[in-house]
């Protein structure tokens, strides 16, 4: 009997507790009614509102616990709460989170449904876009009425019913605050993303481009899930984004992993972690492709949304954040200081996520800070990442400046080194120039000596030729003088005998001898007079000259000079002088030296061939003159061995000779070339075939008319 009374008292107590409604008498207050609710757990779809109203005794509602266990997603729940509004103000039912849970709301008065609505991930069933996007349902409770609110929930994820009842004024205040915060958040996202995008395009920086892309995708994810902005559009695109939140989160995570690769330089710093990140990227991509394929084949969109959001979306987010935390920590440990900001950004998300999860799963009320903790964490992450990018840019700029300074220092050192080397080189060049000047002076002196030697050699050969030329008439003079002396003695003897006829004959012979002596004396006088005339003309002084006579005289003297050196030498001389050759102005002594050198070379050539030629070879030298328009040509040809083609272009070079050592200086043809070309503005050339002799041509300009 005692126990029965106790049970009755408890039933009365609970009945009284259950029947006490929430009095909505403060329009500035937000009423979180979960703690006042009673709950009924049923199989999904087994109990309707009509069943509850028609057979209330069949269903026993129990009070909610202070800390209820996590609800079973495979079960459905009915919540019931009584509300009394003593004021004329309108009140509204406000749900705070968009989840996979589906809510059906029934407002009952006198066991009749006077108002109903539903809230899902697509928003509230309100004709007003704002109410739909903010999950707000109006109530008809007013003027001291008491209504019962029934809320049916399927796929409930939160142990608490995170909803409140508030008046229009309080709702306006909260939504204004929330809208302002959303505006700041999305404005910041848009501003930073556009800035980073422009900066990345301008600098061609991958970090800023990936960061801007990640910000934009993060903003879309936020607008789709927490902010509910996509719901306001109520378009096919918005529903598509809402259905594929898991794919969006996967895309967001893939972009952030790519950003981590680039920003943290994982490929260089931690190759193992870089390969792990690539594996996560590939796995995420495969999962996203699988989700999209599954969305086309499954008829149950709610199941797809639950798999996409609750399973894969959560996995993507956790995998990305864990990877970012580890990667940034290791990169910072390896000395990459900008990684600290990446680490702090990810850590901020973890901290705010922990705050949000604690509030979401342990509290039946919501504050502005707990409601927006994830957004605050995202803002912190954005700012930390942006600071890290700026720090990295400044660090790279600093390194670049250091490299520039180092380059400037190296340039200065190089400049000083170059100046030092230039001074040393200038000293060496000066020293070398002095040495070269001295060498040049010595070379010029040596060249002058060699030229003088060549002139003396030519003079010696000329002198020998002159001496040999004079020797012949002198021999005749001497011979006829001796014969005349003998004839005079014979004449004396004849006079002594008185033989006058013999005396007369001897006198005739003496007369002939004296005439011959006079003839040969004049011949010698002519030779000497010609040489005196040439010797009186100084070298380089031009005067009218008969080239035929000059060529013939030097030919004879050169031949006699060769005969004086070699008594056995014999050469046939053939001349063909044009009788109408004009008189031209030349330095006769210089041209004579040229002719003498060419004659001697020709005689030397025929002598050399005579030593090797077969019997019957006749050494011959041809000398001719002819006139061409504006020019006089002297041609000298021999039938010697000729000049080989390999050395033909070198014969006019100084010190080049084909004669054995001691027989030539190599300056004869070089001096001849200078005398003709530089001294007389003429031409000298050679034509030759090996084995057929050589032919030299001298071309001199005639006197102007």
The Cα–Cα gap between 517 and 527 comes to: 16
Neighbours of 599 (CB within 10 A): 26
Q: Report the SS3 class of residue 388.
A: helix
Reply yes or no on whether the pLDDT at 84 is more than 90.
yes
In whole angstroms, what separates CA 171 from the centre of its chain? 63
Reply yes or no on whether the pLDDT at 282 is more than 50.
yes
The per-residue b/e assignment along 264-295, b for 16 or more CB within 10 angstroms, e otherwise, is bbbeebbeebbebbeebbeebeebbeebeeeb
Instruction: Let me know if 682 is exposed, middle or buried by CB neighbors in 10 A (0-12, 13-18, 19+).
Output: buried
For the ranges 112-121, 258-267, 527-536, 622-631, the lowest mean pLDDT is seen at 527-536
The Cα–Cα gap between 242 and 356 comes to: 21
User: Which tens digit of pLDDT belongs to each residue from 482-518?
Assistant: 777 777 877 787 777 777 777 777 777 778 777 777 7
Residues of the chain with CATH 2.60.40.2380: 20-177
pLDDT of residue 104: 92
Q: For the chain, give the mean pLDDT.
A: 80
Highest mean pLDDT: which range of 127-141, 189-203, 356-370: 189-203
* Residues 136, 124 contacting (CB under 8 angstroms): yes
Pairing of strands 76-85, 22-23: parallel
Pairing of strands 572-576, 620-628: parallel
Nearest to 581 by CA among 687, 673, 700: 700
pLDDT of residue 537: 44
Confidence tier at 132 by pLDDT (50, 70, 90) = low
Higher-scoring residue by pLDDT: 239, 197: 197
CATH class held by domain 541-705: alpha beta
Nearest to 206 by CA among 156, 263, 248: 263
pLDDT of residue 72: 80
The neighbouring-strand residues paired with 124 are: 119
* Fold classification of 20-177 (topology level): Immunoglobulin-like (2.60.40)
Q: What is the mean pLDDT of residues 23-33?
A: 91
**Tokens read off for 647:** 């050395």
Confidence tier at 9 by pLDDT (50, 70, 90) = very low
Instruction: Annotate 613-680 with DSSP letters as a single string.
Output: SPTT---EEEEEEEEETTEEEEEEEE-SS---GGGGGGTTSTT---SPTTS--S-HHHHHHHIIIIIS
The neighbouring-strand residues paired with 81 are: 149
pTM of the predicted model as reported, rounded to 2 decimal places: 0.54
The Cα–Cα gap between 663 and 520 comes to: 35
The Cα–Cα gap between 273 and 490 comes to: 142
The Cα–Cα gap between 362 and 372 comes to: 16
Phi-psi region of 90 (alpha: psi -120 to 50; beta: other; left: phi over 0): beta
Residues of the chain with CATH 3.30.565.10: 541-705
Instruction: Let me know if 87 is exposed, middle or buried by CB neighbors in 10 A (0-12, 13-18, 19+).
Output: middle
pLDDT of residue 604: 87
pLDDT of residue 78: 94
pLDDT of residue 92: 92
In whole angstroms, what separates CA 8 from the centre of its chain? 94
Q: What is the mean pLDDT of residues 438-445?
A: 75
Confidence tier at 91 by pLDDT (50, 70, 90) = very high
Those residues whose C-beta lies under 8 Å from the C-beta of residue 508, and which sit 6 or more positions away, are none
Those residues whose C-beta lies under 8 Å from the C-beta of residue 321, and which sit 6 or more positions away, are 346, 349, 350
Reply yes or no on whether the pLDDT at 68 is more than 70.
no
The Cα–Cα gap between 200 and 221 comes to: 23
As a whole-number percent, the residues of the chain with pLDDT over 90 amount to 14
Confidence tier at 12 by pLDDT (50, 70, 90) = very low
């Amino acid at each position: 009997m005692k126990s029965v009374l106790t049970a009755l008292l408890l039933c009365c107590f609970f009945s009284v507790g259950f029947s006490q409604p929430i009095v909505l008498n403060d329009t500035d207050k937000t009423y979180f009614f979960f703690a006042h609710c009673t709950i009924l757990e049923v199989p999904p779809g087994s109990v309707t509102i009509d069943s509850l109203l028609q057979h209330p005794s069949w269903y026993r509602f129990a009070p909610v616990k202070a800390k209820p266990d996590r609800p079973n997603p495979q079960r459905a729940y009915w919540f019931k709460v009584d509300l009394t509004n003593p004021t004329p103000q309108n009140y509204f039912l406000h749900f705070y989170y968009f989840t996979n849970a589906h809510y059906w709301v029934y407002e009952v008065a006198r066991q009749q449904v006077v108002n109903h609505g539903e809230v899902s991930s697509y928003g509230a069933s309100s004709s007003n876009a704002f109410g739909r996007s903010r999950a707000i349902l109006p109530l008809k409770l007013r003027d001291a009425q008491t209504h019962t609110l029934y809320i049916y929930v399927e796929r409930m994820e939160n142990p608490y019913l995170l909803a409140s009842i508030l008046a229009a004024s309080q709702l306006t205040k909260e939504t204004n605050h929330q809208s302002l915060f959303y505006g700041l958040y999305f404005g910041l996202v848009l501003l930073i993303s556009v800035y980073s995008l422009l900066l990345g395009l301008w600098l061609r920086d991958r970090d800023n481009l990936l960061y801007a892309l990640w910000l934009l995708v993060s903003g879309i994810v936020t607008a789709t899930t927490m902010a509910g902005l996509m719901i306001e559009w109520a378009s096919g695109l918005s529903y598509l984004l809402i259905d594929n939140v898991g794919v969006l989160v996967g895309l967001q995570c893939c972009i952030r992993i790519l950003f981590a690769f680039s920003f943290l330089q994982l490929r260089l710093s931690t190759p193992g972690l870089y390969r792990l990140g690539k594996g996560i990227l590939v796995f995420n991509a495969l999962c996203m492709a699988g989700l999209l394929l599954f969305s086309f084949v499954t008829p149950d969109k709610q199941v797809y949304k639950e798999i996409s959001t609750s399973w894969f979306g959560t996995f993507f987010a956790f995998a990305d954040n864990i990877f970012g935390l580890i990667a940034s920590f290791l990169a910072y440990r390896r000395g990459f200081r900008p990684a600290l900001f990446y680490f702090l950004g990810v850590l901020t998300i973890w901290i705010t996520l922990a705050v949000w999860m604690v509030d979401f799963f342990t509290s039946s009320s919501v504050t502005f800070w707990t409601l927006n903790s994830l957004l605050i964490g995202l803002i912190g992450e954005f700012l930390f990442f942006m600071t890290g990018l700026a720090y990295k840019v400044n660090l790279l700029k600093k390194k670049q400046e250091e490299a520039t300074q180092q380059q400037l220092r190296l340039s200065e050192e190089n400049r000083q080194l170059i100046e030092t080397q230039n001074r040393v080189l200038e000293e060496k060049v000066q020293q070398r120039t002095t040495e070269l000047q001295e060498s040049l002076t010595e070379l010029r002196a040596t060249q002058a000596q060699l030229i003088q030697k060549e002139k003396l050699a030519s003079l010696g050969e000329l002198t020998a030729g002159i001496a040999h030329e004079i020797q012949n008439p002198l021999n005749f003079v001497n011979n006829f003088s001796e014969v005349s002396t003998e004839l005079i003695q014979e004449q004396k003897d004849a006079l002594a005998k008185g033989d006058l006829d013999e005396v007369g004959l001897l006198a005739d012979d003496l007369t002939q001898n004296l005439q011959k002596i006079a003839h040969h004396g004049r011949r010698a006088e002519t030779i000497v007079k010609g040489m005196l005339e040439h010797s009186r003309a100084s070298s380089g002084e031009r005067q009218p000259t008969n080239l035929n006579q000059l060529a013939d005289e030097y030919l004879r003297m050169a031949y006699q000079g060769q005969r004086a050196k070699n008594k056995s030498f014999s050469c046939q001389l053939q001349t063909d002088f044009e009788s109408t050759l004009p008189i031209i102005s030349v330095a006769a002594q210089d041209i004579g030296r040229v002719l003498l050198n060419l004659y001697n070379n020709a005689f030397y050539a025929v002598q050399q061939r005579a030593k090797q030629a077969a019997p019957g070879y006749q050494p011959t030298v041809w000398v001719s003159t002819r006139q061409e328009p504006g020019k006089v040509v002297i041609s000298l040809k021999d039938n010697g061995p000729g000049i080989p083609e390999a050395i033909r272009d070198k014969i006019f070079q100084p010190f080049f000779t084909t004669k054995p050592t001691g027989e030539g200086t190599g300056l004869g043809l070089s001096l001849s070339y200078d005398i003709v070309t530089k001294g007389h503005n003429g031409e000298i050339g050679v034509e030759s075939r090996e084995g057929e002799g050589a032919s030299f041509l001298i071309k001199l300009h005639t006197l102007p008319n």
